[in-house]
Structures are given as structure tokens and as C-alpha cells.
Amino acid sequence: METTVLELQFVSVAGRRFSLTINDPKENLTEEAVKTAMEQIVAINAFRTTTGDVAAAAGARIVTRSVNRIYEEA
């Protein structure tokens, strides 16, 4: 079984990194589209973390995870 997520990485006003993970992202995402969306999240201050408001977008990545089950009881 393979799963894919889009991980959006941000920095809070305290300088701490945090991530927002989105399951099953579109396959044709571009750097420009993701960066624009992240800048909008920062501009509207969409999230508040334990270390304060979102200060900046730090990066984004697609993470694909593959799990091969060897044994599983019913």
C-alpha cells in the first residue's frame, strides 16, 4: 500500500517550524501554485500555533510512503 501527502512547512513568529499535512494531493501541483497557496495562508494568518502566529512559508514537499505487509492477523 502506498500513501502520498503534501507537507507544507511554515515558521511561527517565535522561529519554530511546523508542518501542515494534506493527504492525497493532486499529482500535477507546481511549485508556483503551492508557494502562492502558502503565501495566502501566511497573509490571512490562517493558523495559530503554540509558538504564535504563522510568520513565513519555509518549504513544501511530497512524501510518499510504501508499506508492504508481511503478516497480519484477521
How far is 46 from 33, CA to CA, in rounded Å? 18
What is the band of 43 on the pLDDT scale with cuts at 50, 70, 90? very high
The answer to whether residue 47 scores a pLDDT higher than 90 is no
Domain ranges, residue 58: 2-66
Q: Is residue 19 part of a domain?
A: yes
pTM for this entry: 0.85
Q: Is residue 49 part of a domain?
A: yes
Contacts of 7 (CB under 8 A, 6+ apart): 19, 20, 21, 22, 60, 61, 62, 63
The burial of 8, by beta-carbon neighbours within 10 Å (0-12 exposed, 13-18 middle, 19 or more buried), is given as: buried
**Chain segment 3-41, per-residue pLDDT in tens:** 999 999 999 999 999 999 999 999 999 999 999 999 999
Spatial contact of 17 and 10, defined as CB atoms under 8 Å apart: yes
Q: Is residue 58 part of a domain?
A: yes
Q: Is residue 73 part of a domain?
A: no
**Chain segment 50-61, per-residue pLDDT in tens:** 999 999 999 999
Checking phi first, is residue 5 left (phi over 0); if not, alpha (psi -120 to 50) or beta? beta
